[in-house]
Amino acid sequence: MKQQKYILPESEIPRQWYNLAPDLPTPLLPPLGPDANPISPEMLAPIFPMGLIEQEVSQERWIDIPEEILDILCRWRPTPLRRAVHLEKYLNTPARIYYKDESVSPAGSHKPNTAVVQAWYNKQEGIERLTTETGAGQWGSALAFSCSLLGLECKVFMVRISFEQKPFRRIMMQTWGASCVPSPSEETAAGRAVLEKMPDTPGSLGIAISEAVEQAVTDPSGKTRYSLGSVLNHVLMHQTIIGLEAKKQLALASETVPDVVIGCAGGGSNFSGLAFPFLLDKINGAEIEVIPTEPTACPTMTRGPFSYDFGDIAETTPLLPMHSLGHTFVPPPIHAGGLRYHGMAPLVSQTIVEGLSTPRAYNQMQCYESAVLWAQTEGVICAPETSHAIAAVIEQAKLAREEGKEKVIVFCFSGHGLMDLVGYEKYFKGELSDFSLPQEDLQTYLDAIANLPQPEIRKTGKW
């Protein structure tokens, strides 16, 4: 039995990104500054280049992809759309399962789809150096790769515990010429302040964000900017090339509109990349079930309220309208590090509020079980994040079998698991478990959100 793959020629690569914002039934709420007033694009100029800020606030549905960016993306794009015929056979399902294989990029995930774009727009405006933060290193390695290709310097603040315990993506960053330091570091005021109080801290994404932003905005040359790998509107838009390609490839497979679209969501970027182009069809009347998936150990979308919250623990970001568990929430140590984020992209959050997408949460053990079944049928070892999409796919395929329906399921295979094998090892050894999060444990974090200013949220009757 032959695995089917649908390869798009380079000439067919999408030449515009899709911006969901203007098609939302209700306009996006603005981010708020420290004074609880909406922040203006100009206030973001010390942090991001204007080219990206314009995209962040754009109400254009289609935005041209510069030719030079397409040239770089074509190093590994268009990515294959594959049909998982061996999993289908194993499950004895009438469903047809397609997956968009984003693991084929040199960094091993979908992240370079936006990293390359951000590096390019910064370079256009004379920026010479980008700073960012990274947890396990998925995003940091994608940005290091992209800066290497474009001749920009790259400085990555890596959460100290990951810097020490997960050296491999750090070595990837160094191989691509990036400078990678453990955070908190002595290089920034924010880092020094933390170290003075807690010299042995393992670090956190919140601290690392503060350090990266500080180095960007305080560079006296003005040639440094900051780069973020998910959550923001422009980042999600850059990822829509995934879904736009997938649509063309489904047509090659003689499929029309899929019945179910699935992606795992930490900050929301790979899910959005695949799903938003299909949401356009749904908004125009197509019947599509759109499912962002998350860990039960970090149930942002399924148990966090839609509200204004900070993007980081240190409260340095604007207040963003999003599903959130509270910015001080620290998820249990599941292996899907990229899904351990307290918030969800505002665009994704609003699709949930509008009823356009329906999130589901999966336990760690079910996800690893799904990942191993995937490896032994489809032959590829997936990232622990991606296993949260696969768990949902298997659930939907079984449902189709019970209903006797020939459903078409499409999901985003966001990354391979070759840098994450330690989690598999622990799973085989029986050292992993599920985590329950009793409501009383969550409540403290949720209470903190309720105490933040929520003016715009309150204004809109339907929120």
Running DSSP on this structure, what letter comes out for residue 206?
A: H
Q: Which stretch binds a copy of itself (CB under 8 A): 131-139, 154-162, 375-383, 438-446?
A: 375-383
Say how far apart CA 202 and CA 136 lie, in whole Å.
13
Reading the block at residue 131, the tokens are: 């700073």
- Minimum Å gap between C-beta 103 and a copy of itself is 10
Say how far apart CA 312 and CA 245 lie, in whole Å.
33
DSSP reduced 3-state for 56: helix
Question: Which of 418, 433, 436, 444 is in the footprint of a copy of itself by CB under 8 A?
Answer: 418
Residue length, the chain? Answer: 463
Distances in Å between the Cα of 397 and the Cα atoms of 94, 98, 178, 369, 411 are 8, 11, 42, 15, 12
Question: Which of 14, 49, 108, 415 is in the footprint of a copy of itself by CB under 8 A?
Answer: 108
Nearer to a copy of itself, 1 or 439 (CB): 1
Q: Does 124 bind a copy of itself (CB under 8 A)?
A: no
Q: Which stretch binds a copy of itself (CB under 8 A): 249-257, 385-393, 422-430, 455-463?
A: 422-430
Q: In this structure, are strands 129-134 and 153-159 parallel, antiparallel, or unpaired?
A: parallel
Q: Does 253 bind a copy of itself (CB under 8 A)?
A: no
Q: Does 15 bind a copy of itself (CB under 8 A)?
A: no
DSSP string covering 317-347:
SPEEEEEBS-TT------S-GGG--SB--HH
Total residues at the site for a copy of itself (CB under 8 A)? 38
- Minimum Å gap between C-beta 384 and a copy of itself is 12
DSSP string covering 433-455:
------HHHHHHHHHHHHTS--H
The contact pattern for a copy of itself, residues 65-104, with x = CB under 8 A and - = no contact, is: ------x--xx----------x-----------------x
Distances in Å between the Cα of 363 and the Cα atoms of 260, 293, 369, 389, 436 are 21, 11, 10, 12, 9
Q: Which stretch binds a copy of itself (CB under 8 A): 164-172, 243-251, 276-284, 431-439?
A: 164-172
Q: Which stretch binds a copy of itself (CB under 8 A): 44-52, 132-140, 372-380, 444-452?
A: 372-380
DSSP reduced 3-state for 83: strand
Q: Does 381 bind a copy of itself (CB under 8 A)?
A: yes
Q: Does 176 bind a copy of itself (CB under 8 A)?
A: yes
Q: Using CB under 8 A, list all residues that contact a copy of itself.
A: 1-3, 5, 7, 9-10, 71, 74-75, 86, 104, 106, 108, 145, 148-149, 167-168, 171-172, 174-177, 372, 375-376, 379-381, 418-419, 421-422, 424-425, 428
